[in-house]
Amino acid sequence: MRLGIPLPVKFCYCPECKKIHPKNWYSRDKCEICKGECKTFVVKRTIYGWLMYVFSLLGVVVLVLYVGHFQMGWEAFGIMKSVPSDLAVVILFGSILASFVFQYLELSKTSEIAERISRSKDFRS
Ligand SMILES: [Zn+2]
């Protein structure tokens, strides 16, 4: 599934340890175990990754609306008048939880794909 936003998941393959691990945006192209050079490659996000973003965004939106309406009483956030505050809290925590679940699923799925890529003949040559 391609949504046009280039946010792939990066992985590092260490030829020394023969291991792959997800690469954080702040980490260099070094193996976490032996600190040797590793080969960086990308895996396309899966639907879980996009759902993770959707629920994170939903959580932020509900949080801002909640604080704006229930705490600050801003008129502009009147859309929340029809939403009971308990329901807003449930949606807020539900979306945060869903985002964590999808993050976990995304990491296990992309790790599986990365493992498959790293085992291919073209990759090792
Ligand atoms: Zn290594």
HSE, side-chain direction, 13 A CA sphere, residue 9: 23
**4 Cα–ligand 1 center, Å:** 33
CA–centroid distance, residue 16 to ligand 1 (Å): 5
- Between the CA of 9 and the centroid of ligand 1 the distance, in Å, is 19
Task: State how far the Cα of 98 lies from the Cα of 62, in Å rounded to an integer.
Answer: 14
| Residues 8-45 pLDDT 10s | 889 999 989 988 988 877 778 888 889 999 999 999 99
**Ligand 1 centroid to residue 12 C-alpha, Å:** 10
Q: Can you give the residue ranges of every domain in the chain?
A: 9-124
- Token pair 């009971």: residue: 84
pTM of the model: 0.79
Ligand 1 centroid to 85 CA: how many Å? 51
Which residues are bridge partners to 121 per DSSP?
none
State which amino acid sits at residue 107. Answer: L
